[in-house]
Amino acid sequence: MYAVIMAGGKGTRFWPLSREKKPKHLLNITGKKTIIQYTVDRVTPLVEKDNILIVTGASHCDEIREQLPELPAENILIEPVGRNTAPCIGLAAIHIRKRDPDAVMFVLPSDHLITNAEGFLASLTTAREMAKREPCLVTIGIKPRWPETGYGYMERGTVADTIGETKIYAVRSFREKPDQATAEAFFRDGGFFWNSGMFIWKASTILDNIKKLIPDLYEGLLTIEDSIGTKHEEEILSEVYRNIKPVSIDYGVMEKAPGVCMVEGDFGWNDIGSWDALWDVMDKDDKGNATRGNIIRFDTSNSLVYSPQKMVALIGVEDLIVVETEDSLLICRRGSSQDVKKVVKHLEEKGMKEYL
């Protein structure tokens, strides 16, 4: 049993705290540990640490090794350049196939929050048994708690199998992030689930599907696989990645492959993809304020204030997000934090790299 944790991305919606050199998953935002440390801890009841692989970029590998010293150094797989999730997962799969051709692998994002670890492990266990039983691609659909426009959705189909007392469903369709009216229709329908971005399958199964559906990528992966453990591995990896076309696992494989299955998940999942999402999961006072740091508030409600360094005082405001770092200050309306990525784009266009 293996686990692959995808630790790429910049976390632009968490600016100004998340930066290129230290993105969201490497930060301590929600507790005593960093998000990626919590991610590893959650899966260790099912996977030995020697079988946990992290896929990341060169600029973050040293920090990851420092944060996760219990993992073998060779389990930190470094992509020369980010090419979206299909190459990331394929790279991990060839390394796992090299070790154990019949191994089942969990694929997990590094930056999600899960409050019910027991329920999470139960869903993974069910999905693992399904992946062992059939050459299928299993994902976890999250039962929506509100009509969310920031997530992709999966439409639940008929019952494909039963593991113990848990039903496994076929996935009828994948849907892109919807507008508000569509999200509300999905929520009322009851047959649509948030796409968690978590996958369970045999390494051989996902590679067979990549071979059929993204043949160019598969050819590149074979070249890399032949070089693993040789003195030319790094050189060949870089050469292959230069020519790989970016493609997501959802678009490249999941939306096209036959036999995609879904386990229903209800374990307090949140991708904490924005400051609004963090406000949703943080403890709040009796006025709905979530704070971190020395925060004074009078006549203030339903706000998030994140300021570990400076004292912040708020008077007579509501529905605000205030985030302070050493060099930057973000203030926006709650509900607008998805647009923080516009600030990052502006900084990139203006060449203001010191704030990125």
- Report DSSP letters for 3-55, one per residue: EEEE-----GGGTTTS-SSS-GGGS--SSSS-HHHHHHHHHTTTS-GGGEEEE
- DSSP secondary structure string, 126-191? HHHHHHHHSS-EEEEEEPPSS--SSS-EEEEEEEEEEETTEEEEEEEEEEPPP-HHHHHHHHHHS-
Cα 209–Cα 225–Cα 237 angle in degrees, nearest 5: 105
Q: Cα–Cα distance between 261 and 170 in angstroms, integer?
A: 4
Q: How many CB atoms lie within 10 A of CB 351?
A: 8
pLDDT of residue 29: 82
Q: Say if residue 224's pLDDT is above 80.
A: yes
Cα Rg of the chain (Å, integer): 21
The pLDDT assigned to 179 comes to 94
| Beta strands at 104-109 and 76-79: parallel, antiparallel or unpaired | unpaired
**H or E element in which residue 271 lies:** none
CA angle 46/52/53 to nearest 5° reads: 150
pLDDT at position 158 is 96
Beta bridge mates, 162? 167
Whether 31 has a pLDDT exceeding 80, the answer reads no
Residue 236 has a pLDDT of 97
Say if residues 125 and 104 touch (Cβ distance below 8 Å): no
Cβ within 8 Å of residue 81, ≥6 positions away: 57, 241, 242
CB atoms < 10 A from the CB of 24, how many? 24
- Say yes or no to pLDDT of 134 above 90: no
Domains of the chain: residue spans and CATH: 2-270 (3.90.550.10), 275-355 (no CATH)
Q: Is pLDDT above 80 for 30?
A: no
Burial of 25 per CB tally in 10 Å (0-12, 13-18, 19+): buried
Helices 203-213 and 85-99 sit at what angle, rounded to 10 degrees?
A: 130
Q: Which of 268, 1, 277 is nearest to 119 (CA)?
A: 268
Determine the pLDDT at residue 9: 75
Contact 17, 27 (CB under 8 A): yes
Pairing of strands 166-175, 153-163: antiparallel
Please, which residues bridge with residue 270 across strands? 113
Q: What percent of the chain has pLDDT over 70?
A: 100
Q: Which two tokens stand for residue 347?
A: 């900084």
- Residue 72 neighbours by CB distance under 10 Å: 11
Mean pLDDT for the stretch of residues 41-53: 97
Residues in Cβ contact with 227 at an 8 Å cutoff, skipping those fewer than 6 apart? 233, 236, 237
Condensed to tens digits (0 to 9), the pLDDT of residues 240-285 reads 999 999 999 999 999 999 989 999 999 999 888 889 989 988 899 9
| Separation of alpha carbons 13 and 313, rounded Å | 24
> Under a CB-based contact definition with an 8 Å cutoff, are residues 106 and 146 in contact?
no
Which of 315, 321, 320 is closest to 300 using CA atoms?
Answer: 315
Contact yes or no for 6/110 (Cβ under 8 A): yes
Distance of CA 144 to the CA centre of its chain: 17
Report the length, in residues, of the chain: 356
Whether the bond into 16 is cis, omega within 30 of 0: yes
Q: How confident is the model at residue 322 (pLDDT cuts 50, 70, 90)?
A: very high
pLDDT value, residue 33:
92
Helix axes of 35-43 and 58-67: crossing angle, nearest 10 degrees: 60
User: How confident is the prediction for the chain on average, in pLDDT?
Assistant: 94
* CA angle centred on 316, ends 315 and 322, rounded to 5°: 65
Task: State the pLDDT at residue 171.
Answer: 97
Whether the Cβ atoms of residue 293 and residue 322 lie closer than 8 Å to each other: no
Q: Which amino acid is at 76?
A: I
pLDDT attached to residue 21: 83
> How many CA within 13 A on the CB side of residue 48?
4
